Amino acid sequence: MLDALYIAAIGLQVQKQRLDVLANNMANVGTTAFKRQSIDFSGLLDRAPLAGGANGIGSAHAPPNRVLRFDSAPGDIHQTGRPLDVAVAGPGFIEVELPGDRIGYSRAGSLQVRSDGALAHSSGHALKADIQVPAGASDVRILADGSVTATLAGEATPTTLGQIELAVFANPEALEYRGDGIFTAADDVELTHARPGEDGTQSLAVQSLESSNIKMTEEMVSLMLMQRIYELNSRVVQVADELIGMSNNMRRG
Amino acid sequence: MSDIYQIANLGLVDSRQRLEAVSLNAASASLTGYRRHMVAGRTFDSTLSGLDVLAASSVAASSLSVTPRAIPQQVDLQPGALSSTGRSLDLAIDADDSFFALTDGTQIWLTRAGEFRLNERGVLVGERDLPVVGTQGDLRLPGSDVTVSADGQITHRGVVVGALQLFRPIDRVSLQAAAGSLLLSPSGVEPVEPSEARVRSGTLEASNTDASTEMLSLMSLSRQFESLSRVLQSYDELLGRTIQKLGDL
């Protein structure tokens, strides 16, 4: 009976964690290129060692109890009219330089020119393409093939400053989310580089941004389900508690 | 004379196990492809005849503290509701009797949870990162942008890169719950012909835990427990009074 109490308590915890993740998703509905997160808790109710000793399931590489996953489905692309906004249509990520020589990958293409002239991600990290916008340059534009142009001071025609390439992963779901719309990859992950529009990638959508891929109705439905499952689990806790009380009171006097 | 204690105790153990099954089902109500546990009801006859056999031997009283696994746990194979996710590696099976198979190289687990993804080596894995069984062993895919046809063929940019192998347990009734949504078939499994497989891509099957069934079972088991504990109490009282009266004589 204590078992039932603990299991139902874990059930309550699971729903609470799902609610946390759902709240995070809902809060990021308006975040550029946010990817819906979910948790995998299939291992949460396992008791070590697993059923039948030798049959222990994946005991050597048992995954942690709670795994955060994200849904790599693309979000809708909408026009913003801002010249430094780009959206990646189709597969691929823009590479960003992180501190410590690490590379981050992002689909949030709301770019900016930093005060030192470097073209940077909205979080302030410079792009790996290392594009410097000279002082006095105007009309900085990103073209659909990923090249960045600007009209330099005293010139009439635009000059190409650099080229943004896309990093394409065979399995984007193996990436790890580290906040600010930036993902990181394990060192040995397979990736290919391509100019937008080549090697199976699509051209960049210029002056546009990718929305989050969160579907409000689906989140609402799972919110309702979560609440009901929470209720069911709390009922089980109550009944288990009642039964324990009953057996404790079985001997009167 | 202690028979009544033992019979009541068996009933108490029974309701305790039913409570455990309900709590597992409730906790896993949001686990993809979970099959709810059922405590197979033993007939009262079989419980009693077991009691007789046990009572005949001298160790009877001690072995009556029934071990939790003595009552067989069965799984309810009713299909759960399908919901569409749009992700190509989320798979559900339309036929009730077939299952996906996951393996760690030595053992095969059956599951209806088709929430598959690629691991770091590009191998298609399911729950607990166990590789999914294909027609030719592990399925190594070049990328996650694949399409899966109804017969389980996996196509990556127009090229067939593998096919899922579905299985069916030889004896459905003997299926046992292993962990999470995984099931074990002690009677063995047989492959399903590709022409009979009905895989649906972009869809997931929910857990088949049903709140109303679980609530009903909660109500009945708590009442059963209550009445049995009353039986124990009144019998205890009766014995106490008998002993008192005998003392008065």
B27: nearest CB among A14, A40, A235: A14
pLDDT in tens, A146-177: 899 999 888 888 889 999 999 998 888 888 88
Residues near B155 by Cβ (< 8 Å), separated by ≥ 6?
B146, B147, B148, B149, B161
Of the candidates A102, A90, A65, the one whose C-alpha atom is nearest the C-alpha of residue A176 is A102
Of the candidates B155, B172, B171, B153, the one whose C-alpha atom is nearest the C-alpha of residue B163 is B153
Instruction: Of A244-253, B120-129, B149-158, B167-176, give the lowest mean pLDDT range.
Output: A244-253
pLDDT of A251 > 80? The answer is no
Residue A228, token pair as written in the block:
């009901």
pLDDT above 90 covers what percent of chain B? Answer: 22
- Is the Cβ pair A247, B120 closer than 8 Å? no
Coil, helix or strand for A65? Answer: coil
Residue B40, token pair as written in the block:
């197979």
Q: Which residues of B touch A3 (CB under 8 A)?
A: 20, 23
Answer for the pair B91, B63: CB distance below 8 angstroms, yes or no: no
Mean of pLDDT values over A113-139: 89
Please tell me if residue A224 touches chain B, with a CB cutoff of 8 Å: no
Interface size, chain A vs chain B, as Cβ–Cβ contacts under 8 Å: 147
Name A77's bridge partners.
A210
pLDDT of B41 > 80? The answer is no
Distance CA B110, CA B98 (A): 9
Mean of pLDDT values over A84-95: 90
C-beta neighbour count of A37 within 10 angstroms: 16
Q: Model's pTM, two decimal places?
A: 0.80
Chain A CA closest to residue B105: A58
Residues near B243 by Cβ (< 8 Å), separated by ≥ 6?
none
| DSSP line for B72-94 | PEEE------EEE---TTEEEES
- Average pLDDT over all residues of chain A: 85
Mean of pLDDT values over A213-233: 92
Helix, strand, coil percent values for chain A (each to nearest 5): 25, 25, 45
- Is the Cβ pair A235, B215 closer than 8 Å? yes
pLDDT band at A80 (very low <50, low <70, confident <90, very high): very high
**Residues listed for chain A:** 253
φ/ψ of B92, rounded to 5, equals: -130, 155
Distance CA B125, CA B112 (A): 13
- Is the Cβ pair B118, A51 closer than 8 Å? no
pLDDT above 90 covers what percent of chain A? Answer: 37
Distance CA B80, CA A160 (A): 57
B133, containing H or E segment = strand B133-134
Q: Give the pLDDT score at A58.
A: 42
φ/ψ of B189, rounded to 5, equals: -130, 155
Q: Which residues of B touch A243 (CB under 8 A)?
A: 15-16, 19, 222, 225
Chain A CA closest to residue B144: A171
Calculate helix-pair angle for B3-27, A2-27, nearest 10 degrees: 10
Extended beta strands in A185-252, E state:
191-194, 204-206, 208-210
Does residue A199 or residue B101 have the better pLDDT?
Answer: B101
B43 DSSP assignment? P
Instruction: Of A96-100, B175-179, B202-206, B230-234, give the lowest mean pLDDT range.
Output: B175-179
B66 DSSP assignment? -
Q: Which residues of A touch B213 (CB under 8 A)?
A: none
A63 DSSP assignment? P
pLDDT in tens, A30-71: 999 999 998 888 777 775 444 443 344 444 344 445 678 888
Residue B107, token pair as written in the block:
């053992």
Extended beta strands in B144-209, E state:
146-148, 153-156, 159-163, 167-169, 176-177, 183-184, 189-191, 199-201, 203-205
pLDDT band at A219 (very low <50, low <70, confident <90, very high): very high
Measured in Å, how far apart are chain A's first and last C-alpha atoms?
24
Per-residue CA distances from B10 to B47, B141, B231 (Å): 8, 53, 12
Mean of pLDDT values over A221-249: 91
Could you give the ipTM of this predicted complex?
A: 0.77
pLDDT of A188 > 90? The answer is no
Q: Give the pLDDT score at A224.
A: 93
Residue B227, token pair as written in the block:
């009445």
The alpha-carbon gap from A155 to the nearest alpha carbon of chain B, in Å, equals 45
Answer for the pair A228, A176: CB distance below 8 angstroms, yes or no: no
Please tell me if residue A176 touches chain B, with a CB cutoff of 8 Å: no
Residue B39, token pair as written in the block:
């405590």
Please tell me if residue A2 touches chain B, with a CB cutoff of 8 Å: no
Per-residue CA distances from A171 to A1, B161, B171 (Å): 44, 15, 37
Please tell me if residue A232 touches chain B, with a CB cutoff of 8 Å: yes
Answer for the pair A49, A59: CB distance below 8 angstroms, yes or no: yes
Answer for the pair A2, A244: CB distance below 8 angstroms, yes or no: yes
Q: Which residues of B touch A250 (CB under 8 A)?
A: 229, 232-233
Instruction: Of A49-63, B8-22, B90-104, B147-161, give the lowest mean pLDDT range.
Output: A49-63
Which A positions 7-26 lie with beta carbon below 8 A of chain B? 7-8, 10-11, 14-15, 18
